[in-house]
Amino acid sequence: MTSIGTLWTIPAQRSGQVIRAVAALGGLVLDLPAEYTHYEDNKKPAFLAKFPHGKIPALDTKDGFKLFEGTTIARYVATLAPNANLLGSDAKENALVDQWVHLVDTELEAPATMVGQLLRGGIPYNKPFHTILLEKVTRTLGTLNTHLATRTFFVNERITFADLVIGSMIQRLVAIIIDPEMRAKFPNVIRHMETVVNQPKVKEIFGEIQYCEKALQFTPPAKEKKEKEAKPAAAPAPKAEKKPKAKAVDDDDDDDDEPLVPEEPKAKNPLDLLPKSTMNFDDWKRAYSNKETRGAGGAIEWFYQNFDKEGYSVWRIDFKYNEELTQIFMSSNQIGGLFNRLEASRKYLFGSVGVLGTTNNSVISGTLIIRGQDVKPIVEVGPDYESYDFKKLDLNNAEDKVFFESALAWDLEIDGKKWADGKTVSRFHHCVKQTVLILTTSAVQIICIAFRHSETSKY
Amino acid sequence: MASIGSLYAPLGHLRARTVNSTVAYAGLKVDRPVYTHFQDNKKSDFLGNFPHGKIPAFRSNSGVSIVEGAAIARYFAALAPESGLLPKSLEDQALVDQWCHLIETEVFDNTLLTWFICQGKFGPYSKETHDIVTTRERRAIGTVNQHLEDKTYLVGDRITLADLTLASAMNFALAKTLDTEGRAKYPNVVKHFEMVSTEPSLKELFGKIEYAEKAIEYQSPN
């Protein structure tokens, strides 16, 4: 049988599976791409010329007709097989199928995807937001469950597009956030999912159902979201017991790349096993935020009074490729990105790093205070470290001392390149355990970011 | 012309703009029972017909309940084929669906999320989250804007459901997030909005348009 065309997707993409399931039930054939690397091929001009939004799933038919939006493609494929009645058999049934699909798209998938992003670090974690999103999910599950109390399928007692969409979504969610307690509350939804996903023609497409024992919890992000080769981490976590599935894309959003694996058990970080230090790092971070940096009673004074040189060390960080730096604000963003990717070391790291100079004539430099005596395990958690030089500072050496203090006080000058004077705007967020301090000037932008250990919130 | 049923979709309500545009543009007749939002939708007779408790909601004369604004709008469009809101070919219909889906999920829903975030409705304000949502919203507006570079309508050569959906989303974005700076970046969607919102059958529904000078920001309580 001739194929409709090529469906650009990856095997684990849920919305792609739905399209393939519709085709299977409709007796239609779709080709999958011979070669496709997500995050790469969809950014290339050839792909964007066909699918300007740059996301998958995307359909490229033999007639040259092109379509994107997973739900739309699935619905379109269903219209090509009218005898399968996957959209219902009259206008009202069409509308009911559309209704259920729209409901779960917007009030189940969308909030659940956002929960995933909150829990995995794609969006800064925020407990009230998390709670509200879970309430939306629960409310929708309740509506679905009630509807299924007296029904096997959603519309007119036969399988439709709506059942495929809902079944696949629930299959994804029982692996991540619908835990045993929730499954017990919405038994009809679970029963429906198992019925749909196990239909002979689609079973292979949807694959195994994985049931989580515990819903995904918030953990600070430990690696960059992009598909990069994993760098050795300071504390490598042991592999999960279950065989991890191939990386999945939760929805059309190509920014979301969530592996469908259960939470990995936390391993002890060797830095936690160091002998207890006399200096409390949180106290230092608080002192730095609250006090003037220089002068009597200031943060630098506090530091020298409390610094434990056995338990902590001070370093200089320099970007290796300063000739590449152009706009000051872009360099500032680069520093921000560097610190974002060092999230996993937040508990063991304090940094005050800035961009000095002017457009196209600047350097990134600053100071780090770290737990322990070796900077490598601290900075290796992110992929940026290879672009920076690190030099341990000796605070008994006059030059090193001046550098350290100036980097803290933001008056560091290197080869005539200064922090500029000018208007400063400061924004302070204070919560129990965290502060982010951002200083900007009109002429030269400096970002100095103080890290704090935060268990729950991150701005 | 006989009424097709009862529609619960207050004319000023944001999310109901698409379905109300569809009714107006297609010249359909609906009954609009007296309805107070946040009150009537919690009562048992409403919930008996519409268990999820939300609007827009439609009850046909034959007693079929349909919810979800986009689904109702599409159903109405299908009832009025001569309006052109749903084109004839399956492919053009799919293109209409594609734009409707993109616009609703990546423009409107992000504008709404931005609005709620700035009101502090989703926990402590986070500039980073705000920026992420804005980036998503702008990305989608950008795609639509680019598509309209050489076109007057999103699909084909007349107004479809996709154009009504875009105009409804823009109605909201123009008032909240697509400020003077944003409008300069995406002139095609602005031009498209002005065309659709001034259609004779839609002018009254869209009413006086609000254009934000500066995108909404977080107002901290102190």
**A243-271 pLDDT, tens digit each:** 333 334 444 444 333 433 333 445 567 78
Place of tokens 């999960």: A240
Cβ–Cβ gap B104/A146 under 8 Å: no
Could you say which of B51, B83, B115 is where a domain stops? B83
CB pair distance less than 8 Å for A103 and B52: yes
Neighbours of A420 (CB within 10 A): 16
Contact of A52 with chain B, judged by CB distance below 8 Å, is answered with: yes
Q: Write the DSSP string, A234-271.
A: SSPPPPPSSPPPPEE--SS-TT--EE--PPPPP---GG
Going by C-beta distance under 8 Å and a sequence separation of 6 or more, which residues neighbour residue A77? A4, A19, A22, A23, A26, A28, A30, A59
- The position carrying tokens 């309740």 is A142
Question: Given an 8 Å threshold on Cβ–Cβ distance, is B122 in contact with A128?
Answer: yes
Residue A426, CA distances (Å) to A179, A269, A432, A449, B198 in order = 43, 34, 19, 12, 45
B155 and B200 housed in the same domain: yes
Give the β-pairing of A29-31 and A3-8: parallel
Instruction: Tell whether the model's pLDDT for residue B155 goes beyond 60.
Output: yes
Amino acid at A214: K
B66, B98, B132 member nearest A95 (Cβ): B66
Report helix, strand or coil for B177: coil
Instruction: Count the residues in chain A.
Output: 459
- Decide: A249 and A269 in contact? Cβ < 8 Å: no
Q: Sign of torsion, CA A286 A291 A297 A299?
A: positive
Q: Give the whole-angstrom CA distance, residue A347 versus residue A370.
A: 9
* Residue among A53, A62, A428 with most chain B CBs within 10 A, to mutate: A53
The DSSP code for A51 is -
Q: How many CB pairs under 8 A join A and B?
A: 114
CATH number assigned to the domain comprising residue B67? 3.40.30.10
Name every residue in B having a CB less than 8 A away from some CB of A.
51-52, 60, 62, 64, 66-68, 70-72, 74-75, 78-79, 90-91, 93-95, 97-98, 101-102, 104-105, 109, 121-124, 126-129, 132, 139-140, 143, 146-147
Angle at which helices B90-102 and B69-79 cross, to 10°: 150
Do the two domains A5-206 and A281-425 of this chain adopt the same fold? no
* Interchain pair B74, A98: CB under 8 A: yes
From chain B, pick out residues whose CB is under 8 angstroms from the CB of A128: 122-124
Do B168 and B113 belong together in one domain? Answer: yes
The answer to the question of residue B213 being in a domain is no
Where do the domains of chain A lie? 5-206, 281-425
CB contact under 8 Å between B95 and A67, yes or no, is yes
Clarify whether residues B71 and B169 are in a common domain.
no
Average pLDDT per consecutive 10 residues, chain A (459 residues; last block may be shorter): 94 96 97 94 95 97 97 98 96 98 97 94 93 97 97 95 98 96 97 97 96 89 49 40 39 39 51 85 85 90 92 92 81 76 81 89 91 90 82 93 92 87 38 32 40 34
Residues pairing with A61 in the sheet: A5
> Is A209 an 8 Å CB contact of chain B?
no
Q: Give percent above pLDDT 90 in chain B.
A: 97
> Given an 8 Å threshold on Cβ–Cβ distance, is B70 in contact with A92?
no
Contacts of A53 in chain B (CB under 8 A): 102, 139-140, 143
Task: Quote the pTM value.
Answer: 0.68
Confidence of residue B1 (pLDDT cuts 50, 70, 90): confident
Closest CA to B35 of B56, B5, B15, B62: B56
B137 and B50 part of one domain: no
Spatial separation of the C-alpha atoms in residues A109 and A140, rounded to whole Å? 10
Name the residue facing B70 among A76, A102, A146 (closest C-beta).
Answer: A102
Q: Is A440 helix (H, G, I), strand (E, B) or coil?
A: strand
A48 CB near a chain B CB, below 8 Å?
Answer: no
Interface predicted TM-score of the whole assembly (ipTM), two decimals: 0.96
Residue B65 shares a structural domain with residue B162: no
* Whether residues B131 and B69 fall in one domain: no
Q: Tell me what pLDDT residue A327 has.
A: 78
B160 shares a domain with B144: yes
Q: Give chain B positions within 8 Å (CB) of A122.
A: 132
Domain membership of residue B220 (yes or no) is no
Total length of chain B? 222
Q: A 439-458 residues with CB below 8 A of B?
A: 457
User: Do the domain assignments include residue B142?
Assistant: yes
B22 chain-A contacts, CB cut-off 8 A: none
- Bridge partner residues of A312 (DSSP): A371
Confidence (pLDDT) at A234? 38
User: Quick check: is B212 in a domain?
Assistant: no
pLDDT digits 0-9 by tens, B12-47:
998 899 999 999 999 999 999 999 999 999 999 999
Calpha distance B183→A227 (Å, rounded)? 35
Number of Cβ atoms within 10 Å of the Cβ of B39 = 9
The rounded distance, in Å, linking the Cα atoms of B132 and B148 is 25
Q: Quick check: helix, strand or coil at residue A417?
A: strand
CATH number of the structural domain A5-206: 1.20.1050.10
Question: Is B128's CB within 8 Å of A459's CB?
Answer: yes
Nearest CA in chain A to B139: A53
User: CA-CA distance, A261 to A380, in Å (whole number)?
Assistant: 24
- Considering the domain architecture, whether residues B49 and B141 belong to the same structural domain is answered as no
Q: What angle do CA B89, B92, B93 make, to 5 degrees?
A: 85
Q: What is the pLDDT of residue A322?
A: 87
Contact between A448 and A288 under an 8 Å Cβ cutoff? The reply is: no
- Distance CA(A243)–CA(A228), nearest Å, equals 20
The bridge status of strand A258-259 relative to strand A434-440 is unpaired
The contacts of residue A296 (CB under 8 Å, 6+ apart) are none
pLDDT category of residue B99 using cuts at 50, 70 and 90 = very high
For the CA atoms of A121, A124, A130, A136, the dihedral, rounded to the nearest 10 degrees, stands at -90
User: Do the chains contact at A67 and B98, CB–CB below 8 Å?
Assistant: yes
- Of residues A76, A105, A143, nearest to B94 (C-beta): A76
Residue B67 lies in a domain: yes
Listed in sequence order, the residues at least 6 apart from A144 whose beta carbon sits closer than 8 Å to its beta carbon are A104, A108, A166, A186, A188, A189, A192
Cα end-to-end span (Å), chain A: 54
Residues B178, B97 share a domain:
yes
A308-312 long-range contacts, CB within 8 A, separation 24+: A308/A277, A308/A278, A308/A279, A309/A395, A310/A275, A310/A277, A311/A274, A311/A275, A311/A276, A311/A277, A311/A278, A311/A279, A311/A371, A311/A372, A312/A277, A312/A279, A312/A281, A312/A369, A312/A370, A312/A371, A312/A372
Give the distance from CA A262 to its chain's centroid: 16
Q: Is-contact A7 A57, C-beta < 8 A?
A: yes
- Whether residues B78 and B94 fall in one domain: no
Beta carbons of A95 and B71 less than 8 Å apart: yes
pLDDT band at residue B3 under the 50/70/90 scheme: very high
- Pair (B135, B177) in one structural domain: yes
Spatial distance between the Cα atoms of B222 and B217, rounded to a whole number of angstroms: 14
pLDDT tens digits, residue range B110-151?
999 999 999 999 999 999 999 999 999 999 999 999 999 999
Domain count, chain B: 2
Pairing of strands A312-319, A361-371: antiparallel
Q: Does A147 touch chain B (CB under 8 A)?
A: yes
Contact across the interface for A75 and B128, Cβ inside 8 Å: no
pLDDT digits (tens, 9 = 90+) for B39-74: 999 999 999 999 999 999 999 999 999 999 999 999
B123·A65 Cβ contact <8 A: no
Beta bridge mates, A358: A361
Residue spans of alpha helices (H) in A87-221: 91-104, 110-120, 127-147, 161-176, 180-185, 187-197, 203-206
| Residue A81 DSSP class | -
Among A65, A99, A127, select the one facing B66 at the smallest CB separation.
A99
Domain of residue B183, residue span: 90-206
Tokens representing B77? Answer: 């469009």
Chain A residues with CB-CB distance to B78 below 8 A: 91, 94-95
Give the gap in angstroms from C-alpha A363 to the nearest C-alpha of chain B. 25
Contact B95 A127 (CB under 8 A): no
Give the chain A residue whose CA is nearest to the CA of B105.
A106
Cα gap B124→A127, rounded to integer Å: 9
Instruction: Check pLDDT > 70 for residue B160.
Output: yes
Which residues 6+ apart lie within 8 Å of B23 measured at CB? B7, B30, B76
Please check the confidence at residue B96 and state whether its pLDDT lies above 60: yes
Question: A281-425 maps to which CATH number?
Answer: 3.30.70.1010
Q: What is the pLDDT of residue A223?
A: 54
Chain B contacts in chain A segment 60-89 (CB below 8 A): 65, 67-69, 71-73, 75-76, 79-80
CA distance B71 to chain A (A): 5
pLDDT at A233: 40
CA B150, B152, B154, B155 torsion-angle sign:
negative
Query: A104: which chain B residues are within 8 Å (Cβ-Cβ)?
Result: none
Same domain, B155 and B129: yes
- Compute the 3-state secondary structure of chain A and give helix, strand, coil in percent, each to the nearest 5: 40, 15, 40
- Cβ of B97 and A53 within 8 Å? no
Coil vs helix vs strand at B3: coil
Composition of chain B by helix, strand, coil, percent to 5 = 55, 5, 40
Q: What angle do CA B5, B11, B17 make, to 5 degrees?
A: 90
Which residue in A has a C-alpha nearest to residue B101's C-alpha? A69
Of B83, B105, B139, at which residue does a domain stop? B83
Closest chain B C-alpha to A108 CA, distance in angstroms: 13
Q: Choose among A76, A129, A140: nearest Cβ to B90.
A: A76
